[in-house]
Amino acid sequence: MVRIAVLILVMLISFNAYPQKRKAQKAYDAWEAGEYFEAIDFFKDAYSKTRDRDEKSEYVFMVAECYRLSNNPRSAESWYKKISGRDNARPEATYWYAQSLKKNGKYINATEAFEEYKQLVPSDARADLGIRSCELAIEWMESPVPYQVKEIKDLNSRRSDFCPVYARDDYGMVYLTSSREEATGKKEHGATGENFSDIFESRLDKKERWSTPVPVKDLNTEFEDGAVSFTYDFRQIYFTLCEEGKRENRGCEIMTARRNANGWSQPERLDILADSLIAAHPAISPDGLSLYFVSQLSDGYGGKDIYYVTRSSEKDDWSEPRNMGPDINTQGDELFPYIRSDGNFYFASNGHIGMGGLDIFKAEPQPDGRWRVDNIRYPINSSADDFGITFQGDNEMGMFSSTRKGRTNDEIYYFELPPLRFSVQGLVKDEKTGEPIRNAVVRLIASDGTTIRENTGESGDFRFMLNEDVDYIFLASKEGYLNGKEKETTRGQDKSREFLTTILMTSIDKPIELPNILYDFNKWDLRPESMVSLDKLVETLNDNPNVTIELMSHTDSRDTEEYNIELSQKRAQSVVDYLINKDIDSQRLSARGYGESSPKIVDEQLASEYDFLNEGFILNEQFINSLPNEEQKEIAHQINRRTEFKVLSTDYEAE
């Protein structure tokens, strides 16, 4: 009886295990066929039926993989999280968990997950690449490039809409790829759960609205059609056709057709690869002599790579395919190539450092034949998939595709680099008092020849609009003041901005001190430190060509009065000689030594600098001798040893 009972139990276990194995086999069969959307339910069913810990872990991983490969990062994150870091889980579960977090814009959490994966697999460089990507993504979002991005709702549907391409030279027609309900193929794609995609056409109306996209019937089949590229004259089209059952690395091919009076000719297969190999995402160069496409050949760098073929003329056959090399291609996937008339090459990649899934990259050709590859950054790129960019000729505007709304379907966006706008907001102030100077005349003098003048307002303010790549001088003038000047430039500026500037003007009703005019003891030769201040005076005189001045030199009260007069005269003359040597007309200059006869009167600035001096004090010999220590006395003597100038006239005319 015991033997019979054991036999019955074994039969029952075998009977229950058989359906479970069949469910799991269906899941793996769908997986192998690339039907990830269908495989999800099979794996979930197998997961719910088994009690084996290792099997459960495996099925969770496979569900997560299906969500990842069917482009559902939110669900992928949830399922990878169930097993990430567990003892019986694959290490790659932690890696793809980190990637899913990154693709969902959770950069801090993604960095932590990449660090955890780095501990599990120290030799895998992808961990450091992921960490650096998260760091840069945060930086790029904090300092975005100045592109403006907005969704084109007229072109988007509830299904996937992607890879827009302008179809006329006035950019008033666009072809796009879509799996919307109007598509010809009604079967669901096993990888996405959507219809097979078709090529659609939309036109821009007089109100700048895009019409509802309609299928391009001459080109579409019941299978997958899309990813369009036009020749420069829009007379020939290249696109991808993937027949049912020929998914992933088997059977996608590039088709071409020519425009005729009734639409398009019958599409023909482009014979550049063997039938069993994938060729997709064509991009024809502006001269029609190079064709770029995506494939996965034996000489690749990992995932899908970008290849190209060339020809000498449009009548010649295409060359053998060549890989674009390691500057472009990585261990990841490189997709959706696009080349502009300036030779710059654009493509999408998840192998270069990026913000999320696919990012768009710009590659510039270098003199040595290599490419310099740069991420075009936020806001065109995001944590989601961004790909399929197209430009309006040489203009920095166009369209691209993205899943940034958080849904699994692709949508089309418009981007534009708005013209740079520059302006200057300025104030004119009295250099000594800091008070605004009303009704001063401010002249804008530009390197492009522009000259504008404006009067300051009640608060001494002025404002000008500025142009790109121009140097500017702002010259302020008013009776009773020396002209003031400031400079700005918009050269090298890559972002719009408003400059803020303050022009200080000096009143001519009192002598103006020249700071840091220094001499060695008992000498009148100018020391090198004096040159900065004197060069500033040269600039002031050049900005005020009608002014004549007197250079005034003062000494302290030590030594005899006669000696100090002679020494100060020589020092004043040394300044005049310097100015003449700098091409200032000698008729505008006079030198006079005052010796110790004009001691300094303490002003507000000096009083704020030295706590033993009060505003209005006269630093004569009697006051200095009354100071309590030698240090303070020496400071007072040093203040008296100064060089000033005063304006004698403002009506000088050069002969």
pLDDT tens digits for 64-106? 999 999 889 999 999 999 998 787 778 999 999 999 999 999 9
Residue 9 has pLDDT above 60, yes or no: no
Q: CA end-to-end span of the chain, whole Å?
A: 135
- Nearest C-alpha neighbor of 471 from the set 442, 493, 495, 447: 447
Q: Tokens in use for 67?
A: 């969500």
Distance separating alpha carbons of residues 177 and 160, to the nearest angstrom? 8
Distance separating alpha carbons of residues 437 and 504, to the nearest angstrom? 9
Mean pLDDT of 296-304: 91
Mean pLDDT of 536-544: 92
Those residues with Cβ within 8 angstroms of residue 78's Cβ, 6 or more apart along the chain or in another chain? none
pLDDT tens digits for 161-215? 999 999 999 999 999 999 998 888 766 676 666 788 999 999 999 999 999 999 9
pLDDT of residue 11: 37
pLDDT tens digits for 14-64? 334 445 566 688 889 888 888 888 899 999 999 888 888 888 999 999 999
pTM, to two decimals = 0.74
Those residues with Cβ within 8 angstroms of residue 488's Cβ, 6 or more apart along the chain or in another chain? 424, 466, 471, 472, 474, 499, 501
| Domains observed in the chain | 2-142 (1.25.40.10), 151-341 (2.120.10.30), 422-505 (2.60.40.1120), 512-649 (3.30.1330.60)
Q: Which alpha helices (H) appear in 70-189, and where do they start and end?
A: 73-83, 91-103, 107-120, 126-142
pLDDT tens digits for 571-593? 999 999 999 999 999 999 999 99
Q: Which residue has the higher pLDDT, 654 or 591?
A: 591
Contact 441, 503 (CB under 8 A): no
What one-character DSSP code corresponds to residue 213?
A: P
Residue 107 has pLDDT above 90, yes or no: yes
Residue 142 has pLDDT above 50, yes or no: yes
What residues are paired with 311 via a beta bridge?
none
In our burial notation (b when 16+ CB lie closer than 10 A, e otherwise), range 321-340 reads bebbeebbbbebbbbbbbbb
Cis peptide before 379 (omega within 30 of 0): yes
pLDDT of residue 21: 63
Distance separating alpha carbons of residues 547 and 549, to the nearest angstrom? 7
